Chain A
Amino acid sequence: MDIFWQLFLQGVILTVEYALIATGFGIIFSTTRHFHIAHAGVFTLAGYTLFIFVSLLNIPIIGSLILAVLIAALAGIGIYRGIYDQVLKRGGTMMTLFIAALGTLAVIENGFQAIFSATPQAVESESMYKIITIFNGTITLAQLIFVIVGIIVLLGLQFFMLKTKTGRLIRAVAVNPYLSQIVGISIKKINMICYAVGSALVAIPACYITIDAGALSGRGLELVIISMMAVIMGGIGSFVGGWIAALFVGMFFNLSVLHVEPHWQSAVIFVIFLIMIMVRPRGLFGQRA
């Protein structure tokens, strides 16, 4: 029972990681239809930014965290305006955009690897590793803060999307960009907001992982791909669907440890994804495929 509880706690942490990445990718993809694979690059960038601020510039960790999230948001806007928009402006298709995104990912991932080598760069912060006991399970302070912040951010975002004007505009653009443009919504502005929000969301787990295990190029890609599967399984455009899928994936990775060998877990998730898109291509809560 103790092992089960401990695995459950780990499952909650992983769920929040996937939910944040999936929601970030989902808000960008459902609104812009850009296949933003460089989302994984923003993850890497945020992780190394935190490392640079804390370990190299000695800025207090709270300040560094805020700065890392802000810089990730700016990087997201920068990628959209500086690269994707330039591609589309010259008559590029979604395919050319994806290729440019792939190039962006390669530049970010390998650029950091060239600078910081292929070993993880850990942030030394003793206070963050303090062990906290919850019933019979233990987690670190960093993990506890991450889960609480993550859940608050996700719920706040859901409120923002449903109750505020900007949130409604984003949903309008996601449903019908052409009509939205006609009623005077600036698509470019909405897209920029989505990139900023989505990139800030992916920065949160990136910072947590940098504290927990260190920043490392390439660490984000697998997380982002599994999150994309979660977005599709949950239904594009539905946050709650994505969270349920993230919960399923996060819990599966931990609770199945006793029955499924770790290296087969991704395989099982992938097979479930393939079955899901065959049986129900629009996902759990998706409007359309």
Chain B
Amino acid sequence: MEIVIGFAIIASIYVILAASLNILMGYTGIFSMAQGAIFGVGAYTAAILQTQFNFNFIFALIGAIIVAGIASAIMAIPSLGVSGDYFVVASFGMQMLLFSFFMNLTDITNGSAGIQRIPRPEFFGFVVGSDIAYLILSVVLTVLVLLFLISVTKTGFGRVLRAVKEDESVVMSLGKDPKRAKIVATVLSGCVAAVAGSLYAGYVTYVNPNSFTVHESVFITTLVILGGLGSWKGVTVGTIILLGLPELLKLLPISDSHAAPIRQVLYGLLMIVFMIVRPQGIFGATPKSSIQVIPDEKNTAAVIGEEEKA
């Protein structure tokens, strides 16, 4: 039973992470490779505020959200004005930089040893000590995050984000600023990842740099993509399925040192196969194929027309 509760807590943390990236990748079409590190910024900030400054969980959570938002803005503002490719490189750079901070800012992060004895959250004198109580807290936060993000996508801002993904020039012609929308989406995504980070720090009561590597970023990306970009069902059900999958590997006689890379190979293969056979993921909507049926010559001619005009 304990194993099931533990799995459920971890699953809810990853559902939040997948949801944070869904806003960015699924809705806005921006590809970030730094989500693992931003998750780490949230976890570290919450941990430090609680252990060294005696903040309670709520204020530590708010602090984590602010710091992660700032970190996201730093990589988003310079690169998103140019192109998505630049942002991918910038986010990779951010991932490297933040990992280096976790490792080397020893005065603050305690280096590779990490931060220990992070207290469990406390609300009005009630300590969320037992795992079952922590599960309830995690699920409540997860539901709040999901409801918040889904409602954001239903606002005018959400529609702008989707329009940015389809065609930026249309967004501009309507007098909206696509660059600003993209930066806001990136910051929002970072803030949500910090919620997951704070929950993670409170649950394992210990953070160290190895939890927030580039592999973690790739893993969170995998969850969103295989679940289905832009699909909230994919974010929730898909994440739980994909987290459960490696548990099955444990039934096979594979040593622990082999299990981790083999799990990654498995996810990698799934990613390749899905991108070829079913790019929309498990739960993603089937793209409307009717738009695609434009004869090639016409398309080429149109492109050349554009080139000539330019």
Contacts and interface: CB of A to CB of B under 8 A. Distances in A.
Contact of A182 (B75, B225, B300): B300
B252 to A, nearest CB: 13
B5 interface: no
Main secondary structure of the interface of B (DSSP, over half): helix
Nearest to B264: A110
A110 B89 contact: no
A83 B272 contact: yes
Interface stretch (A61-69, A88-96, A246-254): A88-96
B89 A225 contact: yes
Interface string A91-107: 11001111110111111
A267 B94 CA distance: 9
Given A106-B265, A263-B104, A266-B100, A274 B75 contact: yes
A3 interface: no
A64 B279 CA distance: 39
B264 A96 contact: no
B290 interface: no
Contacts of B270: 103
Taking each of B267, B275, B277, which has the highest tally of chain A beta carbons within 10 Å of its own beta carbon? Answer: B275
A99 B225 contact: yes
B81 A281 contact: yes
Nearest to B100: A263
Contact of B307 (A102, A106, A109, A176): A176
A110 B276 contact: no
Contact of B275 (A87, A106, A113, A117): A87
A216 to B, nearest CB: 13
Contact of B269 (A107, A118, A266): A107
A275 interface: yes
B90 to A, nearest CB: 7
A117 B88 contact: no
Contact of B82 (A103, A179, A266, A277): A277
A270 B93 contact: yes
Contacts of A221: 214
Contacts of B268: 102-107, 110
Interface residues of A, number: 51
Given A92-B279, A277-B90, A222 B96 contact: yes
Contacts of A277: 78-79, 82, 86, 90
Interface string B264-289: 11011111100111010000000100
Interface string B42-84: 0000000000000000000000000000000011011101111
Interface in A178-209: 178-179, 181-182
Q: Which of under 10, 10 to 19, 20 to 34, or 35 or more describes the interface residues of B?
A: 35 or more
Nearest to B271: A103
Interface stretch (B138-146, B186-194, B200-208, B255-263): B255-263
Interface in B91-137: 92-94, 96-97, 100-101, 103-104
B225 A273 contact: no
Nearest to A107: B268
A111 interface: yes
Contact of A273 (B93, B214, B292, B300): B93
A92 B275 contact: yes
A98 B300 contact: no
A114 B307 contact: no
A106 B267 contact: yes
Contact of A225 (B82, B92, B101, B276): B92
Contacts of B104: 261, 263-264
Contact of A111 (B75, B265, B277): B265
Main secondary structure of the interface of A (DSSP, over half): helix
A278 interface: yes
A211 to B, nearest CB: 24
B97 A267 contact: yes
A217 B265 CA distance: 13
A275 B93 CA distance: 13
B86 A281 contact: yes
A102 B91 CA distance: 14
B307 A179 contact: yes
A95 B31 contact: yes
Given A92-B279, A100-B276, A113-B261, A35 B88 contact: yes
A178 B300 contact: yes
A125 interface: no
A228 B218 contact: no
Given A106-B271, A110-B265, A274-B78, A179 B276 contact: no
Contact of B272 (A100, A111, A267): A100
Contacts of A100: 271-272, 275-276
A236 B177 CA distance: 26
B275 A96 contact: yes
Given A96-B275, A275-B78, 8 more contacts: A35-B88, A90-B277, A92-B276, A103-B270, A106-B265, A106-B268, A110-B264, A277-B78
9 contacts: A92-B275, A95-B31, A96-B275, A99-B275, A104-B268, A114-B265, A179-B304, A229-B93, A264-B104
Which 9 residue pairs across A and B have the least CB separation, nearest first?
A103-B271, A106-B268, A107-B268, A110-B264, A110-B261, A100-B275, A114-B261, A263-B104, A103-B272
